[in-house]
Amino acid sequence: MKIGFIGLGIMGKPMSKNLVKAGYDLVVFDHDVKKMDEVAAEGAAKGSSTADVAGQCEVIITMLPNSPHVRAVCLGEGGIAETAKAGTIVIDMSSIDPVESKSIGAELSKKGIEMMDAPVSGGEPKAIDGTLSVMVGGSKENFDKYYDLLMTVAGSVVYVGELGSGNVAKLANQVVVALNIAAVSEALTLAVKNGVDPELVYQAVRGGLAGSTVLDAKAPMMMAHNFKPGFRIELHIKDLANALNAAHATSTSLPLTSQVMEIMQALKNDGCAAEDHSAIVKYYEKISNVTVEK
């Protein structure tokens, strides 16, 4: 089974390396030649274009920034649909609008090309060590067929439902993460404004019901003012925009998500778009005239 991998960004590059290490015959493509060279040094072949990869692979994994990029790679000029053979499957591991996943899948099916959406959660560290959480939408038959392949880059692969369902689950994940980070920011700000050491408050609450993976990952970063990106604010803005778009399409009210989106937009305007989403705490520091930095 020859696998194509298109998109060697922060997530795609380590994921593709893990596929090579697992022994898969991999052909990669990215507009950044240096990234292709790096993965090729691990044993992958380099494609000359998206169409070149699609023409020689029966499975094509895409890992791209957002919906327009996936549409262009799948259906645009020089895209997958031009050269892929009938029976090819596209496994889109990007985090995009589920409405677009369904639309792109419908267009690909006219060419005899199947599609699954399989967005991931876990950030760069879990992409590197191959323990991502993968949420899959598409046919159950294809999920079962490619489960072992997906487990090569993951610690958890869960079938959610029909095409688009994977991205719905990912957007739900991103809503939970964003609201958790905002809650941690509020809590630490409250502690400092009341003269209590935020580190001690963190230690006090982390063992109870308020404890969470988000708390343990982000509270120390906030107190260290270490906003080196594991997941950038600008990417979380993209995800929340997709969540709100999906919500509006189904008349779903997401008032808390809307509020956190406004917080992130304010941070973007303050020049923080490329910082880790734990920088949400900077918004609270600004409006409360305080710092949680230790």
Secondary structure class of 280 (helix, strand, coil): helix
CA distance 210 to 208: 5
Q: Please provide the size of the chain in residues.
A: 294
CA distance 239 to 285: 24
Q: Looking at the chain, which runs of residues are DSSP E strands? A: 2-6, 25-29, 45-46, 59-62, 89-92, 114-117, 120-121, 132-137, 154-161
Which tokens is 184 given?
């941690």
Among the options 17, 126, 170, 218, which is catalytic?
A: 170
Burial of 29-38, coded b for 16+ CB within 10 Å and e otherwise, reads bbeeeebbeb
For residue 170, indicate whether it is catalytic. yes
Q: Where are the alpha helices (DSSP H) in 139-279?
A: 140-151, 165-193, 198-205, 213-224, 233-249, 255-269
CA distance 119 to 154: 11
Q: Would you give the distance in Å from CA 112 to the centre of its chain? A: 27
CA distance 167 to 131: 19
Pairing of strands 120-121, 132-137: antiparallel
- Please compute, for residue 226, the number of CA atoms within 13 A of its CA located in the half-sphere on the CB side: 9
Q: Which residues are part of the catalytic machinery?
A: 170
